[in-house]
Structure 1
């Protein structure tokens, strides 16, 4: 089973989600009580645009292991993507209760707060994520965006610059770098006109 899991991870890194899903399905058939395999397959379904299959797998993972914080985070991301923000916030809160060190959940919950216009709550979450000490580039980018939308442009520029400073110049962070650069341009556009 370990070699199937390793091969599935390799397929994910190659962007071959269909093959990775097939391998995770084999793992689930071999061990139908593996909550993490359901959760991982659900994430791949979600990333490949098969949202309802993702939701089914997240729910199955949580039936097997109701303490799997990453499944709550992933299911919350599904809910947020379909506009069910109250459900998303409930699942993010459950994930944080189970694992307060899950930085991605703090960031995702902050984004959802921001979408609801709850900027202060979003900023509190992002400050907590910064205290946890990982993914600073993502945290600064999202905190900058929150300040930007709240109208605190100086704080936004400062955090955008911190995010760019933390981000590598190439590689897997290219899309985040581009996003931050676009946000800066959007913020500065009225000043350039």
Structure 2
């Protein structure tokens, strides 16, 4: 079995959405061996920084929260789709070239995984692409952008996927992953009342 880590490392200087300073994580040492017998630290970070999972409360009033997530949706088979030929945005036409079936969990591999563009105009899933995935009734969609959409005032991409309770994962690192089928483990931290949570996402190859 091969384990492929597809998570972003969390550091203060990591890429964050639109380069906003308030989204940068801060790790602070609370005690060390000069002050006690144990080393302890704490972290202050936005739930939407790095590799994370969105629930619908992020966009939809009175939406779903982390504690209601069915883990079978994020511990599951998935398909990595190579969309590195796409510029700017992923459309329905781009997705129609892929073999997407009802109930699939799809990970969208784009130039985001290779280029230093994450704090700028990263490649995103547009409304038509989201509508196509909704019609396919996908279990979930993951992206290597810091958001699955970019500067869409109505948040159409999120809303269309949330209408079918599809899982959204953002901030994946897919540079070293070839197109194909894998087993995904992407359980978020269990934070009650949160609309999103960080996760450690891995792909398993030759599993079982």
TM-score relative to the length of structure 1: 0.28
- Give the number of the structure whose residues are more often strand, by fraction: 2
Structure number with larger C-alpha Rg: 1
- Give the number of the structure whose residues are more often helix, by fraction: 1
